[in-house]
Amino acid sequence: MIFDQDEHASVVFFFSDDSEVVREMNYAEYQAILDGYVPAVDLANRDLNAVYVEFNAKYKVVATVFFLVRFTSLGYVDDRWSVPLMQLARFASKGPDLGAGPVRLVCASRCPMKQYTAGLWDPDLRSGKGEFKGIAEAVKRNRVGIMFRDPDPEQLRQEKEAEEARQIMEKSIAMRLRNKMDQEFRDHMAQVIKEQRLRTQTILNDKERYIRDLKVQQNARVEDYRTMLEEQKRMLEQERERNAALKETIEGQAQKIQGLREYFEVKLEKAEGSEQDQLEQLKQNYEMEMDAHVEAATTELKEMLQLREVELLYRSEQETKLLEEINTLREQNQGLVDNSGDNILSKLMEKGVSFVTYQPGAGHITLPVSDISSYLENPTAYVASFCGVTEAHYNAWLEHYHVPICRATHSSGEMCGENIHRVESPVDFVFGETDCCHKHRKNKSPQLKVAGSNP
């Protein structure tokens, strides 16, 4: 295809998965596939990343639109595909420079019409890298065979002249502008300097005025202090005078007090002499009174003591008499028992009466007349002796006989209380042996107690 010098050519490139340009066609060819006139059999059944490219007569890229496209099994573009490539390229933003200034770029992240974003993709945006490098090379190679008509020599000459005229005009305008700017700058600087001088003068004036004010204030303050100092001095003098007066007064008072003290001391000395005599007299009186009291009390006590001694003597005599009487009565009693009791008992025995007593452990005992008095005196001792054991032993056995339990104590101090075999005869009874359970019998200890026994 042939384009004019000032026209832009349009092509479509397809990329492989590793971003290589694998298929190139001019835009008219793509349009033919799109309209269903010619299928692209080699692209059948493929989803491809593609780019619409516009470039100028110097084969430099000026616009790119990166779009996605799907080919059917017959090699036609999918029916649903509708991306207005040329329209998008017109509203594109600026991308990398590929030799003709920044290219106009449309891709997924830079889409002027948001409804088409889904049909676009994002290339590597670095100039001279990735897809842009491939695009620039493919345009330069120009396999599609795009041609531009050669420019007319007359037109070229006119363009050259116009260019020269333009450059001359630019120079003169630049010169004029520079001169004007210089003048304006100078004027402005002069104005600024003038203003600054004025401001400096104002500041200086202000400062002088401020210093003057400060001086006036300072003087006034110094004057105030001087007045205050004078006042203080005057007050000090007054205080001094008053102090002197007070001192004189105090001295007078001290003298007066000294006189008074001397007077009272003399008086006190006199008073002390008479008081001493009085005291002595009082002391003597007191001592005499005290002696009289003591004397009276002692006499009274002595009398009471004598009375008690007499009483004691009387009692002692009475006691002796009573003891004698008791002895007499005892003898009489013994005589009576010996004579009449035995006689009665002997008579009873002769008449066939016998005295029988039942005692545990001893059974029935027939008492002879001669033993009756000793039996009456202490039946237990009598029975114990009858059984051939001590009274303590008999009592212990008796306790065991009535309640046959273990009387040993545990280490906690409690009595064991275990039921044990009853020993029928006091003679067979052994302390700490027959009155203990099996366990405590083996394990004899000094804690064992004999019930009823005397220590």
- 420 is an interface residue for Zn ion by CB under 5 A: no
Q: Hey, what amino acid is at 122? A: D
C-beta of 104 vs 407, nearer to Zn ion: 407
Name which of residues 196 to 215 contact Zn ion (CB under 5 A).
Answer: none
C-beta of 114 vs 421, nearer to Zn ion: 421
Residue found under tokens 């616009």:
63
- CA-based angle 100:102:104, to the nearest 5? 105
Size of the site for Zn ion (CB under 5 A): 6
Query: Binder to Zn ion among 34, 369, 372, 416 (CB under 5 A)?
Result: 416
Listed ranges 76-84, 227-235, 243-251, 430-438: which one lies at the site for Zn ion (CB under 5 A): 430-438
Burial of 382 (0-12, 13-18, 19+ CB in 10 A): buried
Listed ranges 45-53, 76-84, 257-265, 416-424: which one lies at the site for Zn ion (CB under 5 A): 416-424
Tell the smallest beta-carbon distance from residue 404 to Zn ion (Å). Answer: 12
Tell the smallest beta-carbon distance from residue 418 to Zn ion (Å). Answer: 4
Listed ranges 28-36, 42-50, 233-241, 431-439: which one lies at the site for Zn ion (CB under 5 A): 431-439
- CA-based angle 103:104:110, to the nearest 5? 120
Query: Binder to Zn ion among 100, 144, 437, 448 (CB under 5 A)?
Result: 437
Strands 61-70 and 102-106, bridge-based pairing: parallel
Listed ranges 94-102, 218-226, 368-376, 434-442: which one lies at the site for Zn ion (CB under 5 A): 434-442
Tell the smallest beta-carbon distance from residue 448 to Zn ion (Å). Answer: 10
Cα gap 430→47, rounded to integer Å: 124
Tell the smallest beta-carbon distance from residue 360 to Zn ion (Å). Answer: 23
Tell the smallest beta-carbon distance from residue 419 to Zn ion (Å). Answer: 10
Site map 70..109 versus Zn ion, x via CB under 5 A: ----------------------------------------
Q: Hey, what amino acid is at 63? A: A
Cα gap 146→53, rounded to integer Å: 13
DSSP lists the bridge partners of residue 441 as none
C-beta of 61 vs 396, nearer to Zn ion: 396
C-beta of 342 vs 418, nearer to Zn ion: 418
133 near 118, Cβ under 8 Å?
no
DSSP code string of 384-395: HHHHTS-HHHHH
145 near 139, Cβ under 8 Å?
no
Listed ranges 124-132, 161-169, 281-289, 415-423: which one lies at the site for Zn ion (CB under 5 A): 415-423
Listed ranges 14-22, 251-259, 342-350, 413-421: which one lies at the site for Zn ion (CB under 5 A): 413-421
DSSP code string of 246-300: HHHHHHHHHHHHHHHHHHHHHHHHHHHHHHHHHHHHHHHHHHHHHHHHHHHHHHH
Q: How far is CA 108 from CA 119, 122, 236, 445, in A?
A: 8, 5, 99, 111
C-beta of 107 vs 406, nearer to Zn ion: 406
- 418 is an interface residue for Zn ion by CB under 5 A: yes
C-beta of 372 vs 450, nearer to Zn ion: 450
Tell the smallest beta-carbon distance from residue 440 to Zn ion (Å). Answer: 4
Listed ranges 24-32, 65-73, 260-268, 412-420: which one lies at the site for Zn ion (CB under 5 A): 412-420
Cα gap 97→61, rounded to integer Å: 9
Q: How far is CA 372 from CA 317, 366, 388, in A?
A: 38, 10, 18
Angle between helices 369-377 and 342-350 (to 10 degrees): 130
C-beta of 234 vs 422, nearer to Zn ion: 422
- CA-based angle 342:344:347, to the nearest 5? 105
Tell the smallest beta-carbon distance from residue 410 to Zn ion (Å). Answer: 8
Q: Hey, what amino acid is at 281? A: Q
Burial of 394 (0-12, 13-18, 19+ CB in 10 A): buried
C-beta of 376 vs 415, nearer to Zn ion: 415
Site map 392..411 versus Zn ion, x via CB under 5 A: --------------x-x---
Tell the smallest beta-carbon distance from residue 431 to Zn ion (Å). Answer: 14
- 448 is an interface residue for Zn ion by CB under 5 A: no
Site residues, Zn ion (CB under 5 A): 406, 408, 416, 418, 437, 440
